[in-house]
Amino acid sequence: MFKKKPKTYKKCPRCGNKCLMAQENCEECGLIFGRLEYASNRAAKEKIRHFDKDFVIYTNQYPSDVSWIKMLLLTFFTGLVGGHYYYVGKYWKGALMTVGFIYLVFCTIFNAELVNALTSYYAYFPIGVLGLSWIVSLIYVACKKFKVPVIVEMPKQVQEVVK
């Protein structure tokens, strides 16, 4: 009965500018949208490991080397430890989630001693943040809004044709 209106705009993954759906490149930053099909998360992870983030862009259009179902399962089962962040190359966020999980285990094991030593419940605040960030990540991955770092690389065959 009700028809959904077709989208007329899309958001550029590099600069966030609103572009018409028919546009081939972004007016603001010059990104050619057709090149996003050659995006690679593996190359982006390599650049991030070497602290070289010059050409890394974060997009929710998953490249061919990132599986959405694998990402969803990793978020559900290893989300508290940060497994989904390690999978896509967000190592610092993954490390924060791992430290938060270790803190959760520590608080669980030594619960009685912590409550006696601390008269307030502020020690449990990081555990709440950890659980909330896991739930938010799970929702983002399920809705395909989780940002993945990618680098747009052109295959050698296409580079030769372009030249």
In whole angstroms, how large is the CA radius of gyration of the chain? 20
Pair 85, 147 in one domain = yes
pLDDT for the residue numbered 2 = 67
Pair 72, 8 in one domain = no
CA 26 to chain centroid, in Å, comes to 22
Residue 89 belongs to some domain of the structure:
yes
pLDDT for the residue numbered 112 = 57
Residue-range definition of the domain harbouring residue 9: 1-31
Pair 144, 106 in one domain = yes
Q: 59, 127, 58: which is closest to 97 by C-alpha?
A: 127
pLDDT for the residue numbered 59 = 81
Measured CA to CA, the distance from residue 54 to residue 124 in angstroms comes to: 38
**Could you give the number of structural domains in the chain?**
2
3-state secondary structure of 1: coil
Measured CA to CA, the distance from residue 149 to residue 63 in angstroms comes to: 9
pLDDT for the residue numbered 103 = 84
pLDDT for the residue numbered 82 = 92
Pair 58, 22 in one domain = no
Pair 121, 139 in one domain = yes
pLDDT for the residue numbered 19 = 84
Considering the entire predicted model, what is its pTM?
Answer: 0.74
Residue 8 belongs to some domain of the structure:
yes
Q: Which amino acid is at 27?
A: E
What are the residue ranges in the chain where pLDDT is below 70? 1-2, 4-5, 111-123, 153-163
Pair 114, 155 in one domain = yes
Residue 47 belongs to some domain of the structure:
yes
Pair 153, 83 in one domain = yes
pLDDT for the residue numbered 76 = 95
pLDDT for the residue numbered 7 = 74
Query: Do residues 59 and 147 touch, judged by C-beta distance below 8 A?
Result: yes
Residue 36 belongs to some domain of the structure:
no
